[in-house]
Structure 1
Amino acid sequence: MTTSAPGEPSVLRYGWTTGACATAAATAAYTALLTGEFPDPVEVLLPKGRRPFFALATESLEAGAATAGVIKDAGDDPDVTHGALVLATVREGGPGDGVVFRAGEGVGTITLPGLPLPPGEPAINPVPRRMMTEALTRVANAGGRPGTPDVIVEISIPHGEEMARHTWNPRLGILGGLSVLGTTGVVVPYSCSAWIDSIRRGVDVARALGHRHVAGAVGSTSERVVAELYGLPDTALLDMGDFAGAVLKYLRRHPVPRLTIGGGFAKLSKLAAGHLDLHSKRSQVDLALLAELAEQEGKPELAGPITGANTALHALELASEAGLALGDLVAGRALLTAERVIAEGKPETPIAVDIVAIDRAGTIVGRAGPLP
């Protein structure tokens, strides 16, 4: 599968989610359990009607159990699980139990509340569970077994525990490995849907744990600064990255009493300009806005130098030399953007927001909003 934006010469390949791969592996394994033969390639029906075929990377049939494996192809998306082997072992289950899911090697277990599944459950999300249940039901029905089959499905991802260290699973309380994810079965290159989903799950976990103050930080340095400033635990820290809009829009529907947004001065100057996606490819620093803020504070002589500055931090240095607290001004304007986005959702619970801007060294250079 391929995709490209209008006018772009390059073409990026779509990929498949771990949920789609697990469904393919489970379908092949259960078919072999019933018939003695593995379909290869195996067809999978995805939620939006696509019917891709997956080649099997491994297969094994023994008394009472069948295992099949699929190599995940994430297309051109920089997915940590690209190239991972997704295994499904299917066994007969107890009468009336339906499809029971278990976490094998490299698949995590949920340990904190607030996620779509309760603590103790394997981290196989609801949509992949539904995809597998529907697929196995079709296999059972085709083999003359009416209704949902009574089977145990164990999903494994070798080396998944190591890969999970590069995800947000440990902070979300998903221990021992990766999550089996996917709502459509398709990975859209650079859609960042997994990152945004992690932000939402972070909010859910924080609320379930009763946290009344959460923080979204652009990077690790700003996160450390904010956590130390307010004494926040890991479970109150949201891996916001460049997705300020995702944090604000989800919190206005699922509010907590207090939100801190922390980030570098340059990134927060983009939020000050009204941008909700702070990535360099999707928004740029508006030096004219910084010059305008200087003029409004009675420093018109800084307008020219700031407009011609090399970077946002250069503009900050120029302002500092002239005795202008540009960091506070940018934080204040960023606060207005955040409050506007939250207000658009008319949350039932008021959310107090404050902004913390830092420089490259991690020094706080600007703040706005009420102190706790």
Structure 2
Amino acid sequence: MWPESTESPAPLRSGLTTGTCATACCVAAAQVLFTQKQDDTVSVTLPKGKVVDLPIIEYSIILNGIRTATIKDAGDDPDATHGATLFVELRLTSEKGVRFHAAQGVGVVTRTGLLLDVGEPAINPVPRKMMTEHLEGFAKTYDYYGGFEVSVGVINGEQIALKTMNPRLGILGGLSILGTTGIVRPFSCAAYIASIHQGIDVARANGITHIAATTGNSSEDAIKKHYELDDIALIEMGDFVGAVLKHVKKVGQTDSPKLMKLSICGGFGKISKLSQGNMDLNSRASSIDLNALAKLAGLLGANDELQDEMTNANTSVEALSFAQQQNIELADAVCQQALNFARQYIPNHIELEVWAIDRKGSFVGKALDKVLSKPKGNDL
């Protein structure tokens, strides 16, 4: 479990990606093969040139090669792989080039729409490039003209992967080796946002034209049941609605494959934040505006007494309950405001809707916006 945070503000620690960890293991293993040195720490050069040091906790001789391992440190980012043991089994080959394999705990791609082809180990392009460049550096230094076989694994990766979106993305058997900069920024949740983008891409590549982005399990269950959606159409966006809106805007402008409908579903409080123009719905980034909810209720006919009650409510759910007692359709209006904001990002040919649920997982509000214009071309 994550430790309790202190009340005093303190700088947040950055961490290192699984791609950086795998690269460090490659460096350590190559160093053994070429120099027989087994250092406690090794240096890795990140994509933008920064050099970082990582500890190596294991050196083992394997058949025709060396196995090394390190511990993933995600800093203060809430990363499922924080504390995981990553390892690399490195072998020299007569054939030039670097070939990658998935060892225990690293998944394999089984669906189209990702950055990698079906059947490839889930080791993303930037980590592959990092490992390749470091290994080629060793080859040049020591006049080595053969190649490398790199097997990357994660201890208990199969179990850790169940806490991620990998199974839904069609990455089976374990985790992905990720990273674009090599660094994990505290609370940036870059890996989570990347998974959101991948989820949308995988859905489109597999012919899904209606996707639903949800803030949590209850909202996912509600919208899935309502539309009888397949899991591949469900995007676990959590608090990162901005990641969904921006990526749908990007892919919605492409010719194919077409996305025709986006449903956004979340708890009433989260949707109220979206209605106020917030792209990150986490409490550290945005707050529920009870005054705004009260004013909106006033526009819908709420008297001054009700507005005062709502302003002084303990939670958005309590404020909603006050409005419901006087038959004020507050949740629908909040969903409409959220939809109006989201529509700024969503191309007009994509049908858009926003749903709000209560704490029991029941729908309390909705706003539906039909297609505003047909897509270009002959897709319909």
TM-score by length of structure 2 reads 0.90
Q: Does 1:319 align with 2:318?
A: no
Measured in 1, the distance between the counterparts of 2:293 and 2:41 equals 58
Q: Structure 2: how far apart are the matches of 1:122 and 1:51?
A: 27
Q: Give the one of 246, 259, 267 matched to 2:270.
A: 267
Which secondary structure does the structure 2 equivalent of 1:369 belong to?
A: strand
Report the counterpart of residue 281 of structure 1 in structure 2: 284
Deviation at residue 226 of structure 1 after TM alignment? 0.5
Q: Quick one: which amino acid aligns to residue 341 of structure 2?
A: T
The answer to whether the Cα contact below 8 Å between 1:19 and 1:128 also exists between their aligned partners in 2 is: yes
Change (3 A) 1:165 1:62: closer
Distance 1:274 1:76 in 2: 27
Report the Cα distance in structure 2 between the residues aligned to 1:350 and 1:185, rounded to whole angstroms: 37
Identify which of 326, 340, 343 aligns with 1:339. Answer: 343
Do 2:108 and 2:119's aligned partners in 1 also have CA atoms closer than 8 Å? Answer: yes
1:63 Cα deviation from its structure 2 partner: 5.5
Please say if 1:225 is aligned against 2:222.
Answer: yes
Indicate the residue corresponding to 2:349 in structure 1: 350
Structure 2 counterparts to residues 1-372 of structure 1, below 5 A: 9-62=9-62, 64-96=64-96, 98-145=97-144, 149-255=146-252, 256-301=259-304, 302-342=306-346, 347=347, 350-370=349-369
Cα distance in 1 between the residues matched to 2:358 and 2:153: 43
Contact 1:258–1:351 under 8 Å retained in 2: yes
Give the residue type in structure 2 aligned to 1:235.
I
After TM superposition, give the deviation of residue 62 of structure 1 in Å: 4.8
Query: Shift in Å at residue 333 of structure 1?
Result: 0.8
Aligned CA distance change for structure 1 residues 63 and 366 (closer, same or farther; 3 Å): closer
Q: Distance in 2 between matches of 1:112 and 1:203?
A: 12
Distance 1:143 1:101 in 2: 22
Structure 2: 5+ residue stretches without partners: 1-7, 253-258, 372-380
How high is the sequence identity, in percent, across the aligned residues?
A: 46
Q: Is the 8 A contact 1:215 1:260 kept in 2?
A: yes
Equivalents in 1 of 2:62, 2:142: separation in Å? 19
Structure 1 Cα separation of the partners of residues 170 and 62 of structure 2? 35
The equivalent residue for 1:4 is: none
RMSD over aligned CA atoms reads 1.7
Cα distance in 2 for residues equivalent to 1:196 and 1:213: 20
The answer to whether the 8 A contact 1:33-1:61 is kept is no
SS in 2 for 1:368: strand
